[in-house]
């Protein structure tokens, strides 16, 4: 009996992962050890065990806020009773519905690490069954969101480019956050970048992936990561640590161990793990579906937010799977109560279109309509692998294959990013810390992009919406106000939209100006990649 209990617990903990990966989750392993000791103290069951007697729960994994509660439904295969036991500050109690079913009420401590609740059942004839509830901790949604929409310049400057002028240019463009490559030491003096960022009010995401990816498999890497985190905390500009970019699931448990150690050393500093988009193959992700991949990292690494990169606008058209990525990330974030960050392509790369104000609007506005709390530009400074970008500092290959090596300079892409960020900040009160209730689609290929808009989706302030092309319709709540956001899903042409209002509402334009709209049908023209924002109370 004891061996079976220990084996069951080990399987519940590792979720089919190997021993090396299990060893990474120190907190859960500590609970495993405690429970094994308790099991070893139990007397062997004198009554007959029945393979037909079992406990079932209404889900496989469960989540709770620190200090919060949850209710888990249980079902016995035969009449009986159950007992529950919780450790490490967790509490659990049973409310019976009848002799075969009931509710287990669980309360998490604050602060809380993942918990395991032992559930022991006894049948009417002495049958015995034992199982374990695994509960993960999620961060309160509003505590990890900024009062503004963050604008993140990804892939920053070299040491030569880290000048007051270039940091002022970030501020002028509305950028609030910058990636600094902390792993490039000694080639990159990340400390210099952090000092300048502090001076200009720019937050720094410090990229330390090299050490984190091998955490707990190499003592030298462990020490390197820990020393770097301790030193980075002495620089006020550092706001988060990036430990991975587009990881495979086979290193998720090592990243979870690194995240846990960073949060122990630097409480309150989020850990940034940027995920693949859905366009990547199953082999590349290490999962059979994109939902499985995103959910796996959210659960195993206990993420405080999800970030993924996808650059969908090619010369041949817009990738339909972009919306699959957004739909999955939206669903997983709502499941875990966490926000997400998304990317905007701001450079020339791999058969994609060059960035323009219209393509920036399209990507940024669609991200916001799904609830993104940060728009991230890839890349801000070009590399040998990327071409035209807001700041061109390196030679690059042109679409015709020729190589150019211009003097460092700011391009039209910089001014387009600056203009889009100005428009974004004018309307960020709609989206910052918002709750996106649902997202719907109209027009061509809506069946590939998500759920089609119907009249049942519309609030009482709006009688009907029709579009002369492809549109995305998002329903947003924020600070007691309700909004409908209608996005033009193409950057190539304007979109005519007719909206029937049943009462007085307001539209909000790119300048942040409110315009009163009377009841009745009104036709609007939404510019390329732009959005129509409608507000009522």
CATH class of residue range 2-138: mainly beta
Q: Residue-wise pLDDT tens for the chain (537 aa)? A: 433 333 343 434 343 344 444 444 455 555 555 554 554 444 443 333 445 899 999 877 677 777 888 889 999 999 999 999 998 889 999 999 999 999 999 998 887 777 889 999 999 888 999 998 888 776 544 444 568 999 999 988 999 999 999 999 999 999 999 999 887 666 789 999 999 999 999 999 999 876 666 677 677 677 888 888 999 999 999 999 999 999 999 999 999 989 988 988 998 899 999 999 999 999 999 999 999 999 999 999 999 999 999 999 999 999 999 999 999 999 999 988 899 999 999 999 889 999 999 999 999 999 999 999 999 999 999 987 788 999 999 888 888 888 888 899 999 999 999 999 999 999 999 999 999 999 999 997 787 899 999 999 999 999 999 999 999 999 999 999 999 999 999 999 999 999 999 999 999 999 999 999 999 999 999 999 999 999 997
Length of the chain: 537
DSSP 381: B
143-164: b (≥16 Cβ within 10 Å) or e: ebbbebbbbbbbbbbbeeebee
**Residue 265: which of 191, 330, 203, 208 has the closest Cα?**
208
Distance CA 412, CA 389 (A): 9
Q: List the chain domain ranges.
A: 2-138, 141-433, 436-536
- Residue 421's region, left for phi above 0, alpha for psi from -120 to 50, else beta, is alpha
Choices 1.10.30, 2.40.160, 2.60.40, 3.40.50: CATH for 436-536 = 2.60.40
Q: Are 494 and 488 in contact (CB under 8 A)?
A: yes
**Phi, psi angles (nearest 5°) of residue 31:** -65, -35
Distance CA 329, CA 295 (A): 9
Number of C-beta neighbours around residue 44 at 10 A: 6
Same fold, 141-433 and 436-536: no
Q: At what angle do helices 321-336 and 290-300 cross, to 10 degrees?
A: 30
Predicted TM-score (pTM) of this structure: 0.77
DSSP 183: G
Which pLDDT score is estimated for 75? 93
**Residue 120: which of 4, 280, 285 has the closest Cα?**
4
- Note the CATH number of domain 141-433: 3.20.20.80
Distance CA 486, CA 467 (A): 10
Q: Is the dihedral of CA 484, 489, 491, 492 positive or negative?
A: negative
Pairing assessment for the beta strands 128-138 and 115-123 based on DSSP bridges: antiparallel
């Amino acid at each position: 009996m004891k061996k079976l209990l220990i084996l069951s617990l080990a399987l519940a903990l590792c979720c089919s992962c190997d021993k090396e990966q299990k060893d990474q989750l120190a907190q859960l392993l500590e609970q495993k050890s405690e429970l094994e000791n308790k099991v070893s103290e139990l007397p062997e069951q004198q009554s007959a065990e029945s393979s037909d007697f079992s406990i079932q729960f209404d889900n496989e994994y469960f989540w709770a806020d620190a200090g919060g509660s949850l209710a888990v439904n249980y079902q016995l295969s035969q009449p009986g009773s159950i007992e529950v036991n919780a450790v490490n500050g967790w509490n659990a109690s049973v409310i019976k519905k009848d002799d075969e079913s009931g509710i287990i009420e669980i309360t998490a401590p604050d602060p809380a690490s993942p918990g395991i609740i032992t559930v022991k059942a006894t049948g009417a004839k002495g049958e015995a069954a034992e199982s374990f509830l695994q509960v993960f901790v999620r961060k309160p949604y509003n505590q990890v969101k900024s009062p503004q929409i963050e604008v993140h310049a990804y892939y920053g400057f070299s040491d030569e480019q880290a000048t007051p002028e270039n940091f002022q240019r970030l501020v002028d463009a509305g950028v609030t956050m910058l990636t600094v490559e902390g792993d490039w030491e000694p080639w990159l003096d990340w400390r210099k970048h952090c000092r300048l960022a502090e001076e200009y009010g720019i937050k720094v995401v410090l990229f330390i992936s090299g050490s984190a990816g091998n955490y707990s498999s190499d003592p030298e890497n462990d020490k390197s990561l820990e020393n770097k985190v301790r030193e980075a905390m002495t620089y006020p500009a550092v706001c988060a640590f990036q430990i991975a970019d587009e990881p495979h699931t086979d290193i998720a448990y090592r990243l979870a161990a690194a995240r846990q150690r960073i949060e122990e050393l630097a409480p309150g500093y989020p850990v940034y793990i940027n995920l693949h988009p859905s366009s990547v193959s199953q082999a590349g992700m290490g999962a059979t579906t994109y939902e499985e991949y995103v959910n796996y990292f959210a659960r195993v690494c206990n993420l405080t937010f999800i970030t993924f990169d996808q650059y969908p606008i090619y010369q041949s058209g817009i990738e339909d799977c972009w919306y699959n990525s957004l739909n999955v990330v939206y669903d997983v974030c709502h499941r875990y109560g966490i926000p997400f960050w998304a990317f905007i392509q701001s450079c020339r790369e791999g058969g994609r279109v060059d960035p323009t104000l219209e393509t920036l609007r399209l990507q940024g506005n669609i991200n916001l309509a799904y609830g993104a709390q940060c728009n991230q530009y890839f890349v801000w400074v070009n590399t040998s692998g990327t071409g035209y970008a807001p700041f061109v500092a390196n030679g690059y290959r042109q679409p015709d294959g020729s190589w150019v090596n211009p003097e460092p300079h700011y391009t039209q892409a910089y001014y387009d990013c600056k203009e889009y960020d100005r428009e974004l900040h004018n309307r960020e009160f709609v989206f910052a810390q918002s709750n996106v209730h649902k997202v719907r689609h109209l027009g061509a290929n809506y069946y590939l992009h998500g759920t089609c808009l119907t009249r049942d989706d519309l609030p009482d302030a709006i009688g009907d919406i029709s579009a002369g092309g492809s549109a995305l319709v998002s329903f947003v709540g924020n600070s007691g106000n309700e909004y409908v956001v209608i996005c033009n899903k193409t950057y190539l042409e304007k979109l005519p939209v007719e909206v029937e209002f049943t009462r007085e509402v307001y539209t909000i334009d790119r300048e942040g100006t409110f315009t009163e709209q009377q009841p009745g049908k009104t036709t609007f023209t939404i510019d390329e990649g732009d959005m129509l924002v409608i507000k009522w109370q």
